[in-house]
Amino acid sequence: MINSFFKELSTEIHNGVNEKGHPFRFITMATVGNETIARLRTVVLREITEDLRLTIYTDSRTQKIKHINDNNQVSFLLYHPEKMLQLKVEGTAQMVTDTERLNTTWKTIQPNSRKDYITQTTPGSTIKNPDNVEYIEDENYFSIIDIRPKKIEYLKLKRPNHIRAVFVKTNDKWNGEFLVP
């Protein structure tokens, strides 16, 4: 019975990449780094593999990169309001260093979207006017982060009873058990 819930969460995460407008396309990512408080931000789920490796893109100068370099343990929160389904994903982040993969992926990014990775100054820097952001054309700060999940918590809000389960990956196999909601 528990396997049906893992299948559902896997399908929904894949739909976040494959279905336009799916609520799992935009997800909340938390990092900590060496700080004492978690930092949250919304990221775009770009790729998902059969073994549930999640992939996001970012500018290599962002704070999340610094956090991951200090502490590569990250978490994600995904919520589907229509299905009342919440997933909490914990995993290990890894910066992609394969230049072929980086270059191939960069070529698939629409020109207007490339602006996210070619600002003259670091993302998060103060500016006087948002219309005066300068862009560079001859280089980019495009980065890919892969996240290998180790734990996924499933929560389905429904009546008469909510359903909550946790799935932990051990030796490349997902094992699940139900939790009190």
Provide the number of structural domains found in the chain.
Answer: 1
Q: What angle do CA 169, 14, 106 make, to 5 degrees?
A: 105
d(CA 64, CA 66): 5
Chain segment 132-162, per-residue pLDDT in tens: 899 998 899 999 999 999 999 999 999 899 9
Chain segment 40-72, per-residue pLDDT in tens: 999 999 999 999 999 999 999 999 999 999 999
Which residue range forms the structural domain that includes residue 14? 2-124+131-179
Q: What is the value of pTM for the model shown?
A: 0.93
CATH of residue 150: 2.30.110.10
| Of 86, 95, 100, the residue nearest 153 (C-alpha) | 86
- Residue 5, classed as helix, strand or coil, is helix
| Of 76, 86, 82, the residue nearest 163 (C-alpha) | 86
